[in-house]
Amino acid sequence: MIDPDGFRPNVGIVIMKDDRKVLWAQRSNQDGWQFPQGGMRTDETPLEAMYRELYEETGLARDDVRVLGSTPGWLRYRLPKRYLRRHSKPLCIGQKQVWFLLHLQASESAVVLDVTSTPEFTEYRWVDFWYPAENVISFKREVYRQALAMLEPLVTQTFPQQSAG
């Protein structure tokens, strides 16, 4: 599904543990690392898409996490020209995303990357809150900074004694 402006609706997922570390995952068959994310189906709300993508990419179910909040409205990024699929119609020029901050309620062992036949990720680790904003592929850095800046107050409310890193 591509909107009239050429953006694909998508959800981004930041999963945080009690120590304020966030899940950072390596994409399958690539060197790149990122937060879990995925496209929305036409019949889904952002929250429904988030729970589906959460399970498909991390094996975590609704009861394994608590939603702390989300970004208001859409955050957008454009794809570099080399990533555009010019043969696809309509042409997708980027993604528009709603980002969710989740607090992991289950054990870390509940994270399973191969619940589907085509896993998105090969491995994961827990990193400081702001680490992904500087280490994601360059064309996503600004949207990561925006999302984390909007979500950081939710971290402070949930864990007032600690800093976000």
* Structural domains in the chain plus CATH codes: 7-108+120-157 (3.90.79.10)
Q: What is the pLDDT of residues 39-80, one digit of tens each?
A: 999 999 999 999 999 999 999 999 999 999 999 999 999 999
pTM above 0.85, yes or no: yes
Give me the pLDDT at residue 105, please: 98
Give me the pLDDT at residue 31, please: 86
- Residue ranges of the chain whose pLDDT lies below 50: none
Give me the pLDDT at residue 163, please: 52
Phi, psi of 128 (to 5 degrees): -60, 150
Residue 126 · residue 35 · CB < 8 Å:
no
Three-state DSSP state, 3: coil
